[in-house]
Structures are given as structure tokens and as C-alpha cells.
Structure 1
Amino acid sequence: MIRTSISLAFAGLLLAAPASATIVGGGVTSGPTGATFYKLDINSAGNFEDTGGTDYGTNDVGNNTFQLPHLFGFDEGQNISLTADVAVNIGSSPLAGGFVASHYVFFDPGPTQDLVGYVDFDSDIFGIATLTAQLFASDWLARSDVDYLNPSLRGLESGQDSVWIDPTNSKRLMVDLRASTPGDYVRVFTEYSPAAAVPLPAGLPLMAGVFAALGWLRRRKS
């Protein structure tokens, strides 16, 4: 009975820690036929996989690795405590002493195509890095399990691409892109993410109870 209770306690602790999921949705309002938004993550095989279960067979991004008419996004560093300001091209810079969550959004269609759409987050957007220099400067927030290729070709073309924070919804990124090779890439910085935060105050007492029960079992066996 005690062993069962301990197993259930561990299961409860795991369930109490939510997955990092700060991109909460998105869509395409105008673009190639069939275009939509897909949120990506890295699966157990080390490849990108979208929420529909499609495995893209690679963890590369930035060198014509997708060649698809969709808008994509994935979460990077989550709820990182800042020791320095983060430079942005649009919006406000996340400031030292605060927290930031980072996200990568891109459109890599292959042949030149236009797309208008949006990406929704679970917290307000600070700002957006849209140019090569600011993307380089914020690469310390990038995912260690993703290969970012062609870093010097990242960013948006002036007068051709536009991204902005929805003036009526500060948790929504709006995009109006024309991309070809190797695609358009931006990094979005949001405030502290509720979905990515692990509720330590709730989890620690449960863990303490588990260890106490394990100690009691050991004493009983001895």
C-alpha cells in the first residue's frame, strides 16, 4: 500500500509540473493554398515535430530545411533571469533584473511566396528581433537541441517584410512576409510565461513527503 502511494505521489509531482508551452496558437489569414500555423517542438528522436504529430526528420532550421508554405514557431529559453538588457528592433527591450521567454518564428516556403498571419503567446510581448545583429546578440537564448543554420542570412528585408505587436492584443504577433531562400526568421521576447513556470511551492512539499515515506520504508526494512 505504501509503495503504491509513493508511486502515485511521484506521478502527481510530474503532473504538477506543466510543459513549456508558451506559444499557444496561431493562424494564416492570407497566403499559399493550404497554409496554416504549426507549433514545433523537438521529439524523442531529436527531430522537429508539430502538434499534429508530423515528424520533420531534422532539427535544422535556417537553410531551406522546411521548404513548406506554412508559418512555424517554437519556444526557446523560457523564463530566463536577465543580467543584461536584450536589444530588439520592434517594441521594448527586456531589461536586466527581469525575466524573459524567447520564441523563434519563421516562414521558409522555398519559391517566393507571401503570407499574412499571426502567432499567439500566453504572456505579453516585450519586443521582436528582426535584424541579423539583434538575432546574433540574442542567440544565447536559442535552444541547444536545434541547429540554427545560415545565421548571417537571418532577419527580415526592409520594405518587404513586416511584423508587429497587435495593438489590440499584446500577446499576439502579426506577420506580413514575403520569403524565398533561405526564409524569414524573427525572435520574439515575451514576459514571464505562466505555462512554462514550474510551481515549486506546490511541488516541494509533495517531494518532501515522498522522501519521508521512502525513509520510513528503509527504516522498516532494517
Structure 2
Amino acid sequence: MIRYVVLFALALANTASATVTGGAIVEQNGYGTFVKLDTDEPFAVGADTFDDDNLYAFDEDQNILLVEPVRVDIGDEDGVIPQGTVVASHYIFFDSLAGTHYGYVDFDAPVLGIAAFQETMFATDFLANTSVDYISIELRGLEPGDYVWIDEDNPQRIWVYWAGSSPGDYIRVFTALSAAAMM
């Protein structure tokens, strides 16, 4: 029986997809918009590769069964997404020359946690698995004065308040398995 449960979980992990569904910049001292990037075409992120006022998001590896716990900076009270959880990974960033913005990103599944600092981002790089080239990874994360939080009324939304400068602000968001993708 256990063997069939594991095989079913692996089948779900390989067929379903939790995704970024939208977002917006609510207030900003620049002229950017929200942009969801398509990872079917290779691109690089980090080291000032964008240098504009847009808020970007893209989907990384989707619906992966965690074989070990994952530590997060924001989310679960214990700061850990437990082993055996199916997660989808998403990358959110702001690569401005010198701007500030307040906005949100929506997902089609509840947010379980957020890696917002260098250590937790590095430890979760195994969930990237895209054609994206991640450069200047030692500079990822948030700087003092930058904020990100999960919406209390809508667990499928995160909010960001970021002041970007070189090289920008970068986080990884983990969502639950997407029920909508399984229908």
C-alpha cells in the first residue's frame, strides 16, 4: 500500500503545475509594471541583467515531493516546510537602478514559505531546474529596509516593499500543490 501512495504522489508531482497567475505594482517611484517571464526561452537573472523598474516573476521547478525539510525565512511558524510536502518554486525579483516599489504577486496555490536571504536561497537552489542562468548568486536576497509578507486574507498572494539598487532584490516563493492544475 505504501508503495502505491508514493507512486501516486510522484505521479502528481510530475503532472501538476502551480504557477504565478499575476501581480501588480501598486505604488512606485518609477514606471515599471509586473512581468511574468517565460522560462521556455533561456535568460540570465542577477548582476544587473534587467536594470529597469519592473517587478518580475517566473516559475521554477513545480510540484516536487520534498525528501528533506526546507528552511524558510517567512511563512511557517517553525521556519520549516516539512519533508513529504509537495511544493512548487517561484522566483520573484526587482532589478532597478535606484527605485522603490510596493506591489504583489499572486499564485494559484497557497504560499507555504519564502526564502528571502542568501543562505536559504542557496540551500533551495535545487528547486530551480529551469533554463535560467542565475548569476551573482552571492548577492541574492533582501537588504535591510526591504519587506515581503504573505497576505493574511489571501494566502495565495505575497506583498513586496522593496528599494532596489544594484544588483536588486531576489526571493524564492514556495507554494503548495496546485489543485486547479490537477483537474
Unaligned runs of 5+ in 2: 1-14
More helix by share: 1
Which residue number corresponds to residue 169 of structure 2? 184
Note the alpha carbon deviations across 1:64-121, whole angstroms, 9 max, x for none: 00011010000001000111111100112321112000000000012x1101000000
Report the counterpart of residue 86 of structure 1 in structure 2: 70
Distance 2:30 2:159 in 1: 19
SS of the equivalent of 1:42 reads coil
The whole-number CA distance in structure 1 between the counterparts of 2:23 and 2:180 is: 17
After superposition, what is the alpha-carbon deviation per residue over 1:150-173, rounded to whole angstroms, capped at 9, x for unaligned?
111000012x10000011111000
Q: Check conservation: 2:18, 2:176, Cα contact below 8 A.
A: no
- Superposed CA RMSD in Å reads 1.7
Partner of 1:74: 58
Structure 2 CA distance for partners of 1:101 and 1:177, relative to 1, 3 Å: same
Match of 2:29 among 32, 37, 48: 32
For residues 48-127 of structure 1, what are the structure 2 equivalents within 5 Å?
59-92=43-76, 93-110=80-97, 112-127=98-113
Q: Distance in 2 between the 1:19 and 1:37 partners?
A: 25
Q: How many percent identity over aligned positions?
A: 47
Gaps of 5+ in 1: 1-17, 48-58, 200-222
Q: How does 1:2-13 map to 2 (within 5 A)?
A: none
- How far apart, in 2, do the equivalents of 1:195 and 1:182 lie? 35
User: Structure 2 length as normaliser, TM-score?
Assistant: 0.85
Structure 1: how far apart are the matches of 2:33 and 2:16? 23
Letter in 1 for 2:51: Q
Larger Rg: 1
Aligned with residue 133 of structure 2, among 147, 168, 182: 147
Q: Give the direction of change, closer, same or farther, for the CA distance of 1:180–1:146 in structure 2 (3 Å limit).
A: same
Is 1:165 aligned to 2:162, yes or no? no
> Which structure is higher in RCO with an 8 Å CA cutoff and minimum separation 6?
2
Aligned mates of 2:109, 2:150 — CA distance in 1: 12
Q: Which amino acid aligns with 1:66?
A: F
SS at match of 2:70: coil
CA distance in 2, matches of 1:27, 1:130: 20
Q: Give the C-alpha shift of residue 143 in structure 1.
A: 2.7
Q: Which has the higher strand share?
A: 2
